[in-house]
Amino acid sequence: MRILFLGDVVGRSGRDAVVAGLPGLKSALKADLVVVNGENASHGFGLAPDMARAILAAGADVITLGNHAWDRKEIIPFLEQEPRVIRPANFPPGTPGRGAAVVEVPGNRRALVVNVMGRLFMDALDDPFRAVQAEIQKHRLGAGGTIQASLVDVHAEASSEKSAFGHSFDGLVSLVVGTHTHTPTADHQVLPGGTAYMTDAGMCGDYDSVIGMQKGGAALRFWRKMPGERLAPAEGPATLCGVWVETDDATGLATRIEPVRQGGRLSQALPVV
């Protein structure tokens, strides 16, 4: 199975780039499963239902969220209605929405997508490691199993916590990929047990910015240490950033992982398929 994961969509620039570019990217990379983190799509804070529909229509199979999941209140009833948009699974029991999704992919195959949020330097939620363990124990991975691939989006601040996730679930899932810090890392690899891993997929947004926000106001906060105007997303050309993974259907584990960077300011990186 070929999996395309795109990192945090930031503001209008990121949204427009994903909606315009995803159909062609999906086709070029022959992606069977497409997952997009959309938690910053609405002016940098949250995801509105119409934006979710546009990303799904462009070719995403699942949209994941994170610490800005609830910034747009209208998303709450939408999460109950749309199983393809998921929020972190380690929110407390009774929280609206779902933390995981199983989707059908071409070839009569199924894939599991799990979203969790880290706890280092973030909100104190339930244990994300046990949340992932609980979700993957519901399924059997590989040929003849209930799923043929599985992906975990770890929305977390600390690279150490994301790395611990990768090694904890090595050999148990197809891909562990980090989001939230909006900067693509260069550590994409297939771990010894066969799980593809990348500490952060980066963002889909304007990189002439401070992690997607207009750089003037964002930088000034560090100089003055005072609250200022609400941060606004940068609106220049966006780079689509993410990761592409190929798995073995027999085992559900990864055989290849490559970075994806298309458009905008960053150096370009597209796998040869």
Told to judge if 155 belongs to the known catalytic residues of this protein, a careful annotator would answer: no
Name the active-site residue from 43, 68, 180, 188: 68
Output the six-digit token pair for 236. Answer: 């220049």
End-to-end CA distance of the chain: 12
The helix (run of H) or strand (run of E) holding residue 165 is helix 159-168
CA distance 138 to 109: 16
The per-type count for the chain, helices as H runs and strands as E runs, is: 6, 14
Q: E strands along the chain, which residues? A: 2-6, 8-9, 33-37, 62-64, 85-86, 100-105, 109-117, 149-155, 175-179, 189-190, 196-198, 203-204, 240-247, 254-262
Q: How far is residue 203's CA from residue 7's CA, in Å, rounded to a whole number?
A: 5
Q: Say which DSSP state 268 is in.
A: P
Q: Is 260 helix (H, G, I), strand (E, B) or coil?
A: strand
Q: What is the DSSP string of 70-84?
A: TSSTTHHHHHHH-TT
- Of 218, 202, 220, residue with least CA distance to 265: 202
Question: Which residues are the active-site residues?
Answer: 68
